[in-house]
């Protein structure tokens, strides 16, 4: 069964009470439940992790190879500042999708720059909780299209 790491960055533990007009009223537990329900319907497992610490997020990314098939990540404010998260995503070479609850391009100018956009396979922003679900569907579609070809052991081509 495919396993997808769901990473939530700083302040996402405050969902439901933090700026509900911008981020909605769903709590992080409710977001994780919706993600898990969609994953189950697709026959995959998700493992959520939230941290306000950049280092903890980097460590989870670095531990991902061999454990997870892909990453769906809302790096939150670290999206705009963290070269460490960018470099970790690049180093592990695992397909990742960047998600945001709000449309970062309709917000303050400093939020228009994503430090991770060039190392992820896609970006979804502005759809609230649906951004996570769309990100999960996107990364699953990517995995289906890029499924490794099974090796055929012991077969040889006779050229003579």
> Which domains are delineated in the chain?
3-145 (3.40.50.9100)
Q: Name the catalytic one among 8, 68, 78, 100.
A: 100
Q: Each residue of 83-105: pLDDT tens digit?
A: 999 999 999 999 999 999 988 76
End-to-end CA distance of the chain: 42
Whole-number percent of the chain with pLDDT over 90: 71
Q: Each residue of 21-32: pLDDT tens digit?
A: 766 678 899 999
Higher pLDDT, 146 or 31: 31
**pTM of the predicted model, to two decimals?**
0.86
Q: Name the catalytic one among 8, 23, 68, 78.
A: 23
Q: What is the mean pLDDT of the chain?
A: 87
pLDDT of residue 81: 86
Q: Which residue has the tokens 């012991």?
A: 154
pLDDT of residue 1: 92
Q: Is 100 a catalytic residue?
A: yes
């Amino acid at each position: 069964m495919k396993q997808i790491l769901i990473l939530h960055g700083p302040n996402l533990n405050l969902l439901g009470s933090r700026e509900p007009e911008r981020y909605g009223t769903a709590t992080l537990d409710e977001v994780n439940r919706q993600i898990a329900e969609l994953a189950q319907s697709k026959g995959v497992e998700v493992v959520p992790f939230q941290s306000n610490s950049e280092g903890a997020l980097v460590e989870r990314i670095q531990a991902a190879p061999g454990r997870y098939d892909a990453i769906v990540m809302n790096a939150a404010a670290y999206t705009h500042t963290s070269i460490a998260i960018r470099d970790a995503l690049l180093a592990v070479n695992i397909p990742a999708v960047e998600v945001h609850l709000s449309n970062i391009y309709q917000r303050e100018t400093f939020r228009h720059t994503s430090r991770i956009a060039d190392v992820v396979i896609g970006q979804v922003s502005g759809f609230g909780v649906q951004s996570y679900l769309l990100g999960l569907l996107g990364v699953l579609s990517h995995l289906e299209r890029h499924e490794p070809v099974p090796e055929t052991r012991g077969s040889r081509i006779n050229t003579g």
